[in-house]
Amino acid sequence: MFYREAGEFKTTYAKDQQTFPIALDRWGYFITLALAFLAVPFFINDYWANAVVLPFLIYVIAALGLNILTGYCGQVSLGTGGFMAVGAYASYKLMTAFPDLNIVFVILLSGGITALVGMLFGLPSLRIKGFYLAVATLAAQFFLVWLFNKVPWFYNYSASGQISAPERTLFGQAVTGANAVPAISYLFCLVFVVVLAWAARNLTRGANGRKWMAIRDMDIAAEIIGVNPLKTKLTAFGVSSFYIGVSGALLFAVYLGAAEVGEAFGINKSFLVLFMIIIGGLGSIFGSFAGAAFMVLMPVLLKNIMVGQFGFPTDIAAHFEFVIVGGLIVVFLIVEPHGLAMLWRIAKEKLRLWPFPH
C-alpha cells in the first residue's frame, strides 16, 4: 500500500474541506509548486518557453474558464475563441491607450471586460439549453471575430488589422514585446495560473460551485431548491469569461506578441479549449491542467517523434498527427469518458486497494 487514505482523520470540518485532504497529495502539490517557481525558471529556454510552457500555462487558464462554464455549470460553449479575442483586443487597446498602466492591471481589466461581454452573450442561456446553446454561442464567436475585424478602432486603424503588443515591464523586467526573457514571461504567466487556479478551486468547492453543479445536473430541480437559474448561469458566464479573457490577453500580449483575430481566435480555438476540458475531465480543476498539457504537448511530441526520429516527410507527419490526435480523443473517451482526471482518480483507488483488490 503505497498510497493511503486510511489512518487520516479529520477533526474539524474545515480540515475535511481542504483541497488535498491526503497528506501525500498535499506534499506532491507543494513540491510541484516549488519546482515550478524555483527550479524551472533556471532551465527554461526560448524553445521550451514558446513552444510548450507558455501556451500550456495560458491554455490552462482558458481551460479553467471553460471548465467553470461547461464542466461545472453545464453550459456548453463554443464561443471561447471569440471571448479570448475580447481579452486580447481589450488588452491591446488598454496598452496603447494608457501606456503607463501596469501590465497586471491591463490583463485583469481585459478579463473584466470579457466578463461583461460574456455575461451579455450568456443571457439567452436562460431559455436555450444543451446543444442549442452550444450552437448559439457560435453566434458570439462569429460576431466578435467579425467585429474586431471590421471596426478599425479596435486595431488602431493599422493598415493590415494586425495588432502587436508593445513592450511592457514589471519590476523593470520586460514581460511583453520582443525583449521579454522567457523565464520572466514564464513566471508572469505562472503567477496568474496559480492564483486563478486557486480561486477557481475555491469558487467551485463552495456555495457557488454547488449552485453551478446543481444547474448542470438538473436545472429544474435546482430552481425548485432555490437556485436562481439566471443569476447562477450569468455568474458562470461572467467568471468563465473573465478567465478566458485573461488567457486571451496573455496569449496575445505575452505569447504571440501579434495577432490577427480570424486566425488566432477562430473557431478552432474554441474547439481546442473544449477538447482540453473534455480530455482532461469536465468539472475538474486538475483536469484543466491535464487536458491543456495533453493538447499542447501531444502535437509537439508527435511531430518530434515522427519527423525528428523517423524522418517522415512533414506533410505525411502532419496528416498522421490529425489521424492520431483524432484517434486518441476517441480512444480516451471510450476508455474513460470523464477524462484524465477520472483516470487518475481510478488509478489512485486501485493503488489504494493494491495489492488486495476488493
Partner 1 sequence: MNTQSYVTADGRTIGPAVMEMKNITLRFGGVVAIKDISFDIRQGEIRAIIGPNGAGKSSMLNVMNGFYHPQEGEVMFHGTKRRAMRPHQIAHQGIARTFQNIALFKGMSTLDNIMTGRLTHMKSGLLRQMVWWGASERDEVKNREVVEKIIDFLEIQAIRKTPVGRLPYGLQKRVELARALAAEPKLLLLDEPMAGMNVEEKEDMSRFILDVNDEFGTTIALIEHDMGVVMDIADRVVVMDYGKKIGDGTPEEVRTNQNVIDAYLGVAHD
Partner 2 sequence: MLDTTEPTETLLEVNNIEVIYNHVILVLKGVSLSVPKGGITALLGGNGAGKTTTLKAISNLLHSERGEVTKGSISYRNAPVADLNPSALVKKGVIQVMEGRHCFEHLTIEENLMTGAYTRGAGRGEIAKDLEMVYEYFPRLRERRKSQAGYTSGGEQQMCAIGRALMSRPETVLLDEPSMGLAPQLVEEIFGIVKDLNEREGVSFLLAEQNTNVALRFAHYGYILESGRVVMDGPADELRENPDVKEFYLGMSDDGRKSFRDVRSYRRRKRWLS
Partner 3 sequence: DLVFPSLSYRTGPYAANGIPFADGYEDYFTLVNARDGGIGGVPARVVKCETGYNTEKGVECYESTKGEGALVYQPLSTGITYQLIPKATADGIPVHSMGYGRTSAANGKVFSNIFNYPANYWNGASLAVNHILDENGGDIKGKKIALLYHNSAYGKEPIRTLEELAKKHGYDLSLLAVDHPGQEQKSQWLQIRREKPDYVLMWGWGVMNQVAIQEAANIRFPMDNFIGVWWSGSEVDVVPAGEGANGYKALAMHAVGDDFPVFDDLRKYVVDAGTAAGAGDQLGTVLYNRGMYAAMLAVEAAKTAQALHGVAEINPAQMRDGMEALEMTEAKMAALGMPGFGPEFTVTCENHGGPGLGAVQQWNATDKTWSLISDYGPSDMEVIGKLIMEDSSAFAAENNISESCN
CA dihedral 167, 295, 288, 6 (to 10 degrees): -130
Q: Does 26 bind partner 1 (CB under 8 A)?
A: no
Residue 346 partner contact from partner 3, partner 2, partner 1, none using kind-dependent CB cut-offs of 5 to 8 Å: partner 2
Residue 17 partner contact from partner 2, partner 3, partner 1, none using kind-dependent CB cut-offs of 5 to 8 Å: partner 1
Residue 169 sits at φ, ψ, to 5 deg, of: -120, 160
Among residues 63, 180, 214, 296, which is the contact residue for partner 1, using CB under 8 A? 214
**Shortest Å distance, C-beta 51 to partner 3:** 4
Judged by CB under 8 A, the number of residues near partner 2 is: 5
**Shortest Å distance, C-beta 164 to partner 3:** 7
Looking only at the bridges linking them, the beta strands covering 163-164 and 169-170 are unpaired
**Shortest Å distance, C-beta 222 to partner 2:** 20
Q: Residue 297: which residues within 8 A CB-CB, separation 6 or more?
A: 52, 56
Q: Does 222 bind partner 1 (CB under 8 A)?
A: yes
Cell 521550451 -> residue: 48
Contact status, residue 179 vs residue 197, Cβ threshold 8 Å: no
Q: What is the CA radius of gyration of the chain?
A: 21
Measured from the CB atom, the residue of 177 and 229 that comes closer to partner 3 is: 177
Q: For the chain, what percentages of helix, strand and coil (3-state, to nearest 5) are there?
A: 75, 0, 25
Count Cβ atoms within 10 A of the Cβ of residue 173 and give its class: 0-12 exposed, 13-18 middle, 19 or more buried. Answer: middle
Among residues 50, 128, 227, 336, which is the contact residue for partner 3, using CB under 8 A? 50
Q: Which of residues 172-231 bind partner 2 (CB under 8 A)?
A: none
Contact status, residue 84 vs residue 242, Cβ threshold 8 Å: no
Q: Does 147 bind partner 3 (CB under 8 A)?
A: no
Q: Which residues bind partner 3 (CB under 8 A)?
A: 46-47, 50-51, 55, 96, 146, 149-150, 158-162, 164, 166-167, 177-179, 255-260, 262-264, 266, 268, 299-300, 303, 307, 313-315, 317-319, 322
